[in-house]
Amino acid sequence: MSKIVRASHIIAERGVNVFADYCNRHNPYIIWREETKNDFGIDGEIELTEKTDDGKTKPTSRILKVQVKSTEHDNSYMIRETEDSFCFSASESDLEYWNNYRRFGYEVLLVIFDGRKGNEYLYCKKITDIDVALSTKKGRQKAAPIQFSKIDNHLTTGSNEFLDRFASSFKPRLNHSVSEIIDSNLWPFRSEPRWMYSFSSRFKNKKALFSEIQSGIAPYFIIKDSFIYTFTDARKGFKEFFDQASEDGCNCQEHRFNDIVSSSTLKNYYVELMNAYISDFMRRRGMWWQKDYKRYYFYLKEDQQEHKVSFKTRKIAKETEKKVVGYYEYGKDHFFRHWAINVKIVFIENKLYLVLNHKYLFTSDRRTPIRPDKITKYTNYINSRTYNDGVLDELHFWWYHFAKNNTEWMIFDGKNLQHPDISVGRPICFDVPFGIAMDSVRSSAKTRPPVNENSQQLAIFL
């Protein structure tokens, strides 16, 4: 069956576009930032601007979250309609979702787009405690009404009255009265190979090489254009391998780290070789590689329904267990949810870093990913409920799992093998002279003293 575009998607996008046009035409201009396209939750945010003395438009860092609900049918969530008003039928999940944003300091604007009979009416209302209280589900009702006035809540393009009506609801993005400690997902290498070696080979790929070489010890290596690249001089530590794999009479070339950094080709080979070490390290930590989604995920045995690993909590360093794989059922959907990570090696100038992003993998049988649309649905559900503290907890978990109570991840210990160590240090953190309002719930202090008594802790991801 060929793919189709649903009518609900078309009218939803039309409503967002009409609201975006309203913001664009408003004076002063209202910045509209649409969220990544999906069918879940907040559609975007708006930021106020102001005119400078020289007539330029300047953003003010005053932010409001926006959800747009659109309809073009009489039988919709616009109910109890009269000539002057109507009610929006809010679901319990709507109220919970908006409350999560409000709990962390952001106000939410609910925008209704009425596209019935070719109209393009916009109605806008800030969600308040009163709306939530009045809309709380009673008895068996599945939805709750939020009342709109067709006069007071109507947005008219060109009226330029948005600021007068909603300016007091905006939350400043930056608060310069506090300081924060920024935690990143940028993990610096504490030790890494400073040389790479290459020699011409009789083989074009690993499959051909291993089909002929049946025994002996080999270093970690890659083959590119019939050249073998390693981090150790194979003539010294792996002479049998070198003699079998190399062309007769070939020499071993040495590539210094500075030469690697200045060559995009050598840099790519270096990263690929490092990934071979990381892949082996991940297997030792109970994680497998999923090539389609390019992430490592926690392995689960065929006879297991869940998997837990031990770690210490971030705030009080309490020994506990984290469930990293579990079996879940939601309606007709049955799946395993695995904690997973995406790792990427990057060069910043002449320094080497590992970028780590927390991910999930949803499988039907512990191996096979479920449908992409289902993955998007359940990932969005989790992410919408993961705030700054949760992100910090994820970073802390991965550090503890990989470091195992040490001061670094020891990806490869080469002391007894005439091989350089490969290790990763704690993720970079630094102080900034501002705070972000969404993180009004205080996080625990880091191991070093906070900047001042008002310090908070914030996670940023690259």
- Tens of pLDDT along the chain (462 residues)? 556 767 778 888 899 999 999 999 999 899 999 886 555 578 899 998 888 888 889 988 888 889 999 988 887 778 889 999 998 888 877 888 888 887 777 788 999 999 998 889 999 998 876 555 555 555 445 556 888 999 989 999 888 888 888 876 665 656 677 778 888 999 999 999 999 999 999 999 998 888 887 666 889 999 999 999 999 998 888 888 998 899 887 888 999 999 999 999 999 999 999 999 999 999 999 999 999 999 999 999 999 999 999 989 888 889 999 999 999 998 889 999 999 999 999 999 889 999 999 999 999 999 999 999 889 888 888 877 787 788 889 999 999 999 988 899 999 998 877 789 999 999 998 888 877 654 333 343 344 444 334 445 666 666
272-326 pLDDT tens trace: 999 999 999 999 999 999 999 999 999 999 999 999 999 898 888 899 999 999 9
Tell how many helices (H) and how many strands (E) occur in the chain.
11, 28
Please state whether the peptide bond connecting residue 188 to the residue before it is cis, i.e. omega within 30 degrees of 0: no
| Residues contacting residue 228 through CB under 8 Å, at least 6 positions apart | 198, 199, 200, 201, 221, 222, 234, 245, 246
Element (H, E) at 11: helix 7-25
Nearest to 153 by CA among 114, 106, 205, 98: 114
H helical segments located in 255-387: 257-261, 264-284, 372-383
Backbone angles phi, psi at 25, to 5 degrees: -90, -10
Average pLDDT along the chain? 85
**Residue 200 · residue 227 · CB < 8 Å:** yes
Cβ-based neighbour number of residue 397 at 10 Å: 19
**Max Cα-Cα span within the chain:** 93
Instruction: Indicate the fold that domain 7-172 takes in CATH.
Output: Trna Endonuclease; Chain: A, domain 1 (3.40.1350)
**Residue 257 · residue 195 · CB < 8 Å:** yes
Residue 19's pLDDT is 94
| Residues contacting residue 102 through CB under 8 Å, at least 6 positions apart | 108, 127
Single-letter code of the amino acid located at 198 = S
In whole angstroms, what is the distance from residue 320 CA to residue 203 CA? 50
* Structure letter (DSSP) for residue 169: G
Nearest to 398 by CA among 386, 409, 389: 409
In whole angstroms, what is the distance from residue 90 CA to residue 98 CA? 11
* Structure letter (DSSP) for residue 445: P
* 325-348 per-residue burial string, b: 16 or more CB within 10 A, e: under 16: beeeeeeeeebbbbbbbebebeee
Nearest to 423 by CA among 394, 400, 403: 403
User: Domain segments of the chain: what residues?
Assistant: 7-172, 187-303+311-320+341-424
Prediction pTM value: 0.64
Cβ-based neighbour number of residue 17 at 10 Å: 15
